[in-house]
Amino acid sequence: MSELRIAHLYPKLLNIYGDGGNISALKCRCEWRGIKVSVDEINVGDDIAEHDIYFIGGGQDKQQIEVAYELQKRKEFLTKERDRMAVFLGICGGYQLMGHYYQPHNGEKLPGISLLDAYTIAGNNRFIGNVTAVTSYTEPNTLVGFENHCGRTYSNHDCLGDVIKGFGNNDTDKKEGLVYKNFIGTYLHEPVLPKNPHLADYLILKALQNKYNIDSLEKLDDSIEMKAH
């Protein structure tokens, strides 16, 4: 029986707009297929062991400060994990800290850990609302979610999707999220995976491919999830 180990990074500090629901979606969609899942919550001060999937959610600027400095201690380990193609999903505040830095509108510049070649600078207004993007990474190819952020993220990595409604990474290039190796960063909350089951499956399949010789997933009945989508 295949088994995936998921690490939920800093859930006590970064967990807004139900981002933790992404863990539930990953767990359910694995278990419905007979794939065993374990979830470890990693909090400030905890060492991190190898996992198959790393998840980090969004949070306010204030909570990002503690996480930013904690992450510096985990930078070398997480860089190795990224390079051995472990799967990562970073949302909003957590996504921002995976780049080189996050400069809040008022306040100290926070160091990132450069797992993504990206940087984020906050503007003086927030981007709030529903987002729709079109992606080349999943089938179906639409991604939907809710954004609420001041940060504008800039990068040369492949974007996760082209924005057709809302803002996404910033207010200039109409791109949403980033993909680098098996790392997906995105501004989409809500949480994103329950109502984009194809994105959840993309991550699960990447994790299984990285660990076992598995190249497809059993299809599930997603009629309810797609109504939400």
Instruction: List the catalytic residues.
Output: 92, 189
Give yes or no for residue 59 binding ligand GLN (CB under 6 A).
Answer: yes
Give yes or no for residue 61 binding ligand GLN (CB under 6 A).
Answer: yes
How many residues at the interface with ligand GLN, by CB under 6 A?
A: 13
Give yes or no for residue 16 binding ligand GLN (CB under 6 A).
Answer: yes
Considering only residues 157 to 196 of the shown chain, the ones binding ligand GLN according to CB under 6 A are none
Give yes or no for residue 89 binding ligand GLN (CB under 6 A).
Answer: no
Give yes or no for residue 149 binding ligand GLN (CB under 6 A).
Answer: yes
As a whole number of angstroms, the distance between CA 191 and CA 210 comes to 25
User: Strand pairing of 175-180 and 183-186?
Assistant: antiparallel
Site string for ligand GLN, 129-148 (x = CB under 6 A): -------------------x
Q: Which is nearer to ligand GLN, 30 or 161 (CB)?
A: 161
Minimal distance, residue 228 CB to ligand GLN, in Å:
20
Contact 19, 51 (CB under 8 A): no
Contact 74, 83 (CB under 8 A): no
Q: Which is nearer to ligand GLN, 4 or 155 (CB)?
A: 155
Tokens found for residue 229: 């989508």
CA terminus-to-terminus distance, the chain: 31
Strand partners, 119: 154
Candidate residues 30, 56, 68, 122; the one interacting with ligand GLN per rule CB under 6 A: 122
* Closest C-alpha among 17, 1, 22 to residue 9: 22
Site string for ligand GLN, 196-215 (x = CB under 6 A): --------------------
Contact 44, 13 (CB under 8 A): yes
Minimal distance, residue 71 CB to ligand GLN, in Å:
15
Give yes or no for residue 92 binding ligand GLN (CB under 6 A).
Answer: yes
Q: Which is nearer to ligand GLN, 44 or 128 (CB)?
A: 128
Contact region with ligand GLN (CB under 6 A), list: 28-36, 55-63, 77-85, 157-165: 55-63
Three-state SS string over 159-227 comes to EEEEEEECCCCCCCCCEEEEEECCEEEECCECCCCCCCHHHHHHHHHHHHHHHCCCCCCCCCCCHHHHH
Tokens found for residue 70: 């904690």
As a whole number of angstroms, the distance between CA 79 and CA 213 comes to 24
Give yes or no for residue 121 binding ligand GLN (CB under 6 A).
Answer: no
Residues that bind ligand GLN (CB under 6 A): 16, 58-61, 64, 92-93, 122, 148-151
